[in-house]
């Protein structure tokens, strides 16, 4: 069983650094979700990530670095848009896809000639990246296709038998994964909506192409139609529509943006007392996990407004319901 250490303790960081340098995996907190990290330059360690997650090798990994200064070591086409976005959003929940340097193994990038780079802002992630002084490949620390973990306990519940060490940094403040923005062509493309909103990106670099619908995109398997999915069937309904009456003899759960009076549901979860989308994102994955373990036949999910981080919430809900 994995050991959980308090990531704010310097001893824990040293232990994690030694493990990463020895080619082992370490789960660590970021401001978005917990990551399952390995030395990105060590192919054997990276191969372990794919094995532990049961992740298909066509799905490339995000490489986490301490700061912008190390980007030229791993990427080549760092243009003005990249510099502007890094300056505005790093450290933070934005991942940039750039043309890769040969030092990044093909296994990390699934054979693409591009690499996804991100500088996380969580203090434990920052302490780890600073001390290890290596690029860390890290997908979300969950079995492929399942809901991402937002606490150390979520990681232990799903992967505790397969890994040795989990750094605990408390619940993730953002709660949905980073925004993935590709800058490899003239037109910037949002491959995955996430913690930084499309509006915020556009305010810095102008219009971007945004994947509005959950079309499978071979460039970013995080955009596969069924992903981030709990086991219980989810049914999305439009925001503000009357709620369906739960079928007699069925245990139906309900996921709402904010509290309201309902009848007949076995379990009701809401994402934010005041209907705040940022708070809702932070609570989303933990709520989905609770609903998934409540012994329900199905869950009705009310849509949230699709603006700001609401776009990332709806993206995850659509895939979870697919
Ligand atoms: O918030 C996050 O991004 C978290 C934390 C741990 O940093 N990580 C995360 O990783 O969500 P993962 O592996 O679950 O999702 C990475 C996404 C996938 O959709 C993947 O296809 C895409 O990034 N991606 C990675 N490298 C890419 C590349 N070279 N080109 C296009 N998409 C890429
Ligand atoms: Mg993931």
Q: Which ligand is nearest to the CA of 34?
A: 1
CATH number at residue 269: 3.40.50.11030
Give the position, in ligand 1's atom list, of the atom nearest the Cα of 93.
Answer: 1
Q: Are residues 157 and 252 in the same domain?
A: no
**pLDDT number for residue 214:** 34
Instruction: Write the residue with the smallest CA distance to atom 3 of ligand 1.
Output: 178
Asked whether residue 300 is assigned to any structural domain, the reply reads yes
Kindly list the averaged pLDDT for each block of 10 residues, start to end, along the chain of length 322: 97 98 98 98 97 94 97 96 98 98 97 97 98 98 95 97 97 98 95 96 95 46 66 93 90 96 95 97 97 96 96 95 88
Asked whether residue 203 is assigned to any structural domain, the reply reads no
Asked whether residue 228 is assigned to any structural domain, the reply reads no
Asked whether residue 187 is assigned to any structural domain, the reply reads no
Asked whether residue 204 is assigned to any structural domain, the reply reads no
Give the position, in ligand 1's atom list, of the atom nearest the Cα of 142.
Answer: 14
Q: Are residues 37 and 113 in the same domain?
A: yes
Structure tokens that stand for 276 in this block: 């705040």
For 120, half-sphere exposure in the C-beta direction (CA atoms, 13 angstrom radius) is 32
| Residues near ligand 1 (Cβ within 6 A) | 30, 32-33, 35, 59-62, 95, 97, 109, 112, 114-116, 118, 120, 138-140, 177-178, 180, 191-192, 219-222
What is the Cα–Cα distance from 178 to 190, expressed in whole angstroms?
Answer: 11
Q: Are residues 17 and 120 in the same domain?
A: yes
For 4, half-sphere exposure in the C-beta direction (CA atoms, 13 angstrom radius) is 15
Q: Are residues 45 and 145 in the same domain?
A: yes
**pLDDT number for residue 213:** 35
**pLDDT number for residue 215:** 38
Last residue of a domain, one of 157, 175, 193: 175
Dihedral (Cα; 27, 30, 34, 40), 10-degree rounding: -50
Q: At what angle do helices 80-89 and 198-205 cross, to 10 degrees?
A: 130
Last residue of a domain, one of 138, 159, 175: 175
Closest CA to 58 of 144, 166, 136, 177: 144
Q: Are residues 123 and 9 in the same domain?
A: yes
- The Å distance, Cα 243 to ligand 2 centre, comes to 31
CATH number at residue 68: 3.90.870.10
What is the Cα–Cα distance from 196 to 177, expressed in whole angstroms?
Answer: 9
Q: At what angle do helices 277-292 and 152-159 cross, to 10 degrees?
A: 30
**pLDDT number for residue 211:** 59
What is the Cα–Cα distance from 94 to 99, expressed in whole angstroms?
Answer: 16
Whole-structure pTM value: 0.94
Count: domains in the chain:
2
Which residues constitute the domain of residue 262? 234-321
């Amino acid at each position: 069983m994995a050991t959980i250490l308090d990531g704010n303790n310097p001893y824990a960081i040293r232990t994690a650094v030694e493990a990463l340098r020895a080619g082992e995996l370490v789960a660590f907190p970021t401001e978005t979700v917990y990551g399952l990290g390995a030395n990105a330059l060590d192919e054997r360690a990276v191969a372990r990530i794919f094995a532990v997650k049961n992740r298909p090798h066509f799905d490339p990994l995000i490489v986490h670095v301490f700061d912008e200064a190390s980007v030229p070591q791993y990427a080549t086409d760092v243009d003005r848009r990249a510099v502007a976005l890094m300056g505005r959003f790093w450290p933070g929940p934005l991942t940039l896809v750039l043309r890769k340097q040969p030092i990044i193994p093909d296994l990390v990038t699934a054979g693409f000639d591009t690499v996804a780079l991100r500088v996380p802002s969580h203090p434990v992630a920052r302490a780890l990246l600073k001390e290890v002084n290596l690029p860390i490949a890290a997908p979300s620390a969950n079995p492929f296709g399942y809901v991402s973990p937002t606490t150390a306990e979520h990681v232990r519940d799903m992967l505790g038998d397969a890994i040795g060490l989990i750094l605990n940094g408390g619940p993730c403040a953002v709660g949905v994964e980073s925004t993935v923005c590709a800058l490899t062509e003239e037109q910037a493309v949002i491959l995955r909506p996430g913690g930084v909103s499309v509006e915020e990106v556009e305010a810095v670099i102008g219009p971007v192409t945004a994947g509005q619908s959950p079309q499978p995109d071979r460039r970013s398997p995080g955009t596969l139609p069924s992903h981030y999915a709990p086991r219980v069937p989810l049914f999305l309904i439009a925001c503000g529509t009357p709620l369906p009456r739960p079928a007699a003899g069925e245990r139906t759960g309900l996921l709402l943006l904010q509290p309201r009076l309902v009848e007949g549901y076995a379990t009701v979860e809401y994402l934010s007392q005041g209907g705040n989308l940022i708070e809702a994102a932070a609570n989303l994955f933990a709520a989905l996990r609770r609903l998934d373990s409540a012994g329900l036949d199905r869950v009705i999910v009310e849509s949230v407004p699709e603006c700001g981080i609401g776009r990332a919430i709806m993206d995850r809900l659509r895939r979870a319901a697919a």
